[in-house]
Structure 1
Amino acid sequence: MRSVGGFSLEKTEITALKDMENLVKPGADDANVSSSKLSTVLIIWKCFEGGENRLHVELGSALLKLVKNVTESTVLKYALARMEELLPDGLRLRKRMVYFVPEGSSVDAAPFLRMVRNDTGYMQYAASHLLALFLTYDCHQSGFMAATVSDTMDTKLKSMSAMKMGAASSSQSDPSRSNVTRAAVASMMVLLRFEKARVVFVKQGGVAPVVELLQNSQNRAQLAYELTFILWTLTFCHEAIEKFAAVKALDVVVQQVTSAPREKVVRVALEALQNLLGKLSGYFNERMIDSGLLKTLNNMRERKWTDEDITKSIQAIRDVLIREYKELNTMERYEKELRTGDLNWGLLHTDKFWKDNFMTFENKEFELIRLLIDLLESDDSKTVAVALFDLGEFVRFYPNGKHIVKRLGAKKVAMKLMTHENAEVQKQALQCISKMMVNKWEFVNSYRYLACATHNQFSIHSTGIMAMTKAELLKHLQRVAQGATPRKALNSIHVRTIVDETLDVWTQSLRETGTASFHGLGRFTVDKKTGDIKFKASSLLLDKLSGDVSSSAKDRRDSDDEA
């Protein structure tokens, strides 16, 4: 027995280490095992597996003692590298694991957890990977170390949470953060192959960090593959399925199929989607259809894939979704989506859908319209924007629709949303309110415009409402002046606007005084009775449109401003 740094190695353990090192060429203590040493590793194991079982145990015991008792980084890197060589992540793992962890016993996780928490680079990665291997071995034993797995999961998730907001950018410029992610994700890929570990992972709140990391994994195909692989393993866990719906994991997996960074990413993403078919009473089927996955799969069928599993998965998923699509009419699909409280742009949110189905919404005293109005209070900006669009389309097509939504309280909520922090919500709120203000849609044509202004945007409705900046409005008027309408039309563009509840200075002035200038383009005047507005273009604008800005034009502008 020899004492080393406060602990002892048995003679047999020292002999086992020496025997192994005699087979390793100089430089074997390097942490990263290169491809040139693969033959050496095979020789080691040929001798290792050909010897007596006692020698196997002695070597495993010696390496574990080094990890547990030594703090010198060089020694630890040596021990970790040797253990990674001797414990391949594959079919032979269980056979070789008994040399490190005799049957009926468990590995001491503490030294590995210490390195996972405190070290960086190779030591952190190797300790994380080896601990995952030891814990998966324990998954096969009756005394599964749930507490250790929970502690390990907690450590990994903290590492992943620290990285998730900057996975796509920061980690590339910060190697230490990239290593944290690499270590956490690699070990999760090992652990989550086993059901008990998946349950612990879900209970620890592990699904959301993985989804968020995957959302930010652009241009990092290997990371995308590993994270998608983790989500695939979780599709076999009943406890994870509801979490998938809550954190919108399906949308992220579909995105991996659509973007197709690598074939292996597409393959595992399709396998995950295939496992989700039919789950939660068909919820995931509906989400796949609404996300446009069918169109993506149709396009993918035309492509030649080297991996035949991809072709099989494409066909299997497509067959199910086509059958589902035919069984449900559009209104049934719309109602299902509406009741989830999560709206997404798609075929169910277009003017064609509303033109075909608007009368159906009067059923049960406009129950679906009431649900739409409730969604205006959602925390999800996309859902709010889609709900505003749908309410506006209901108003546009349903007879007396604007009075119905006003009676149900939609107008007040939509007014408040015009100052929402999200630009898309602002735009949809503006358009929704505009539609509520129109009396006769047939009079809204190329000569009569529906216009609303809030902050620095100006929205004009002709064949469809579109947001226009000041510069875009100027270009639009210029096109009108160059032949679309007589030049005199510039002095009498008839528009209609909602002038209350907007915060822009000119709109506030328009409401209070009945007149206001608009950023030097001209002046609006409002008819208090009808709400009609006339826009009188400034002389400077007229000269700009004609391409002739002169000093006389400047004088005319000054006189207009004084007036």
Structure 2
Amino acid sequence: MFRRVYVELLRKNLILASFAVGRGKSGTINRGTRVLALQHPYELRNPSHPGSSVPTAINSLATLLRERSVRASFVAADGIKLLVPLISPASTQQSIQLLYETCLCIWLLSYYGKAVEYMATTRVLPRLVEVVKGSTKEKVVRVIVLTFRNLLSKGAFGAQMIDLGLPQIVQSLKAQAWSDEDLLEALNQLEEGLRDNIKRLSSFEKYKQEVLLGNLDWSPMHKDPGFWRENITNFEENDFQILRVLVTILDTSSDPTALAVACYDLSQFIQYHPAGRIVATDLKAKERVMKLMNHENAEVRKNALLCVQRLFLGAKYASFLQP
């Protein structure tokens, strides 16, 4: 009983403190609030009493992050990565409240460019999608949908949302009986935005996003001859940027699937581009691919061999080699 009273008093005092020290006479936020914002990531990293201090810190952050300068301080303190694990399906009333306030923090951060850039490197989006799929709590769904709406036009988030099946999830959410008009409006706007994204996102744009994010997988376009014939000249954009990234993946990735797909795509480029062999050689692709011929994974070895064969044979004979 004493602990509950203490936590509640602490929670209220933190919020009151944020307002008391947060604004001067001019109404601008001062150093005191920024200090509080920096203290909360520490409390999330090293909670003195996880059952109470983490919810208290999140509750306070949900208030403090309304201020732009606090968002900057929080991101600089590497606070976002501490929020990500808290985005998970909840069942008890206490955990639902913690989830809601965590998502509220993410929504507030979605208005800050550097926070959005950081979120793009985390699993924030997949986790939000997972939560919204199964949540029946209206306020949780609302704040997540509003976050999706904010992120939709930022970077590669639109393509990721489509890949994660969000258009179908939105359809399912719209079929439910929500009473919140803001939620219904946000769902309609999100649905329209996703529809526009699908129209705008050509097969090559989707491929490009996949490569730039390093999320290479055996999606249908990789083995579709029509895709390569129709889009081969697009690989010339930005001084063969996509090809350069594929070569970099060969050097840096530890994912066998990504390595196998990168080798295969390079071999396809060599086959379909008139100067494919020359370009790939200039980018030092041969040396990198040859190293992978001894990879422990059979799929990587197979596609590395195919790529090396096409590098040596060139486009004229490459079509005779079957993957």
Scaled by the length of structure 2, the TM-score of the pair is 0.74
CA contact (8 A) 1:132 1:190 kept: yes
CA contact (8 A) 2:228 2:272 kept: no
1:147 and 1:203 mapped to 2: Cα distance? 15
SS across alignment from 1:278: coil
Q: Structure 1 residue 138: deviation in Å?
A: 4.0
Higher relative contact order (CA 8 A, sep 6+): 2
Of residues 195-204 and 406-415 in structure 1, the stretch that sits farther from structure 2 once superposed is 406-415
1:358 and 1:427 mapped to 2: Cα distance? 25
The answer to whether 1:371 aligns with 2:245 is yes
Match of 1:293 among 160, 166, 187: 166
RMSD of aligned alpha carbons: 3.9
2:200 and 2:272 mapped to 1: Cα distance? 33
Q: Structure 1 residue 161: deviation in Å?
A: 2.1
The answer to whether 1:243 aligns with 2:118 is yes
The answer to whether 1:329 aligns with 2:212 is no
The answer to whether 1:271 aligns with 2:150 is no
1:320 and 1:353 mapped to 2: Cα distance? 29
The answer to whether 1:414 aligns with 2:289 is no
Counterpart of 1:193 in structure 2 is 66
CA contact (8 A) 1:208 1:247 kept: yes
The answer to whether 1:132 aligns with 2:15 is yes
| Structure 1 letter corresponding to 2:24 | Q
Higher strand fraction: Structure 1 or Structure 2? 1
Counterpart of 1:391 in structure 2 is 263
| Structure 2 letter corresponding to 1:373 | V
Higher helix fraction: Structure 1 or Structure 2? 2
The answer to whether 1:141 aligns with 2:24 is yes
CA contact (8 A) 1:290 1:344 kept: no
| Structure 2 letter corresponding to 1:141 | G
SS across alignment from 1:198: helix
Q: Do the aligned partners of residues 160 and 122 (structure 1) sit closer, same or farther apart at CA in structure 2, a change above 3 Å counting?
A: farther
Q: Do the aligned partners of residues 203 and 125 (structure 1) sit closer, same or farther apart at CA in structure 2, a change above 3 Å counting?
A: farther
Q: Structure 1 residue 157: deviation in Å?
A: 0.7
Deviations 1:387-418 (A, max 9, x none): 532532564796489x95787234235346x4
CA contact (8 A) 2:215 2:258 kept: yes
Counterpart of 1:232 in structure 2 is 107
1:139 and 1:127 mapped to 2: Cα distance? 17
Counterpart of 1:221 in structure 2 is 96
Q: Structure 1 residue 371: deviation in Å?
A: 1.9
1:182 and 1:322 mapped to 2: Cα distance? 37
Match of 1:157 among 41, 44, 59: 41
Q: Structure 1 residue 278: deviation in Å?
A: 2.6
CA contact (8 A) 2:75 2:114 kept: yes
Map of 1:21-40 to 2, 5 A cutoff?
31=2
Of residues 369-378 and 216-225 in structure 1, the stretch that sits farther from structure 2 once superposed is 216-225
2:301 and 2:46 mapped to 1: Cα distance? 38
1:264 and 1:273 mapped to 2: Cα distance? 14
Counterpart of 1:12 in structure 2 is none
Q: Structure 1 residue 140: deviation in Å?
A: 4.3
1:285 and 1:307 mapped to 2: Cα distance? 25
Counterpart of 2:315 in structure 1 is none
1:218 and 1:427 mapped to 2: Cα distance? 41
Match of 1:354 among 199, 224, 240: 224
CA contact (8 A) 1:286 1:333 kept: yes
| Structure 2 letter corresponding to 1:358 | W
Deviations 1:421-470 (A, max 9, x none): xxxxx4753553475589999999xxxxx9xxxxxxxxxxxxxxxxxxxx
Q: Structure 1 residue 151: deviation in Å?
A: 2.9
Deviations 1:317-364 (A, max 9, x none): 11112112212321133224433x442658xx3256633212334643
Q: Structure 1 residue 145: deviation in Å?
A: 6.5
SS across alignment from 2:215: coil
Q: Structure 1 residue 191: deviation in Å?
A: 1.8
| Structure 1 letter corresponding to 2:228 | F
Which sections of structure 1, spanning at least 5 residues, go unmatched? 1-29, 32-119, 164-174, 420-425, 445-449, 451-563
Counterpart of 2:193 in structure 1 is 320
CA contact (8 A) 2:62 2:104 kept: yes
1:294 and 1:389 mapped to 2: Cα distance? 27
SS across alignment from 2:120: helix
2:101 and 2:227 mapped to 1: Cα distance? 44
Q: Do the aligned partners of residues 254 and 244 (structure 1) sit closer, same or farther apart at CA in structure 2, a change above 3 Å counting?
A: same
2:263 and 2:44 mapped to 1: Cα distance? 40
| Structure 1 letter corresponding to 2:16 | L
CA contact (8 A) 1:373 1:387 kept: no
Q: Do the aligned partners of residues 387 and 296 (structure 1) sit closer, same or farther apart at CA in structure 2, a change above 3 Å counting?
A: farther
Match of 1:210 among 83, 93, 97: 83
2:221 and 2:227 mapped to 1: Cα distance? 10
Counterpart of 1:429 in structure 2 is 300
Q: Do the aligned partners of residues 199 and 304 (structure 1) sit closer, same or farther apart at CA in structure 2, a change above 3 Å counting?
A: same
CA contact (8 A) 1:128 1:183 kept: yes
Q: Structure 1 residue 181: deviation in Å?
A: 1.4
Map of 1:434-453 to 2, 5 A cutoff?
none
1:427 and 1:191 mapped to 2: Cα distance? 52
| Structure 1 letter corresponding to 2:290 | K
2:260 and 2:183 mapped to 1: Cα distance? 39
CA contact (8 A) 1:192 1:233 kept: yes
SS across alignment from 1:247: coil
Scaled by the length of structure 1, the TM-score of the pair is 0.45
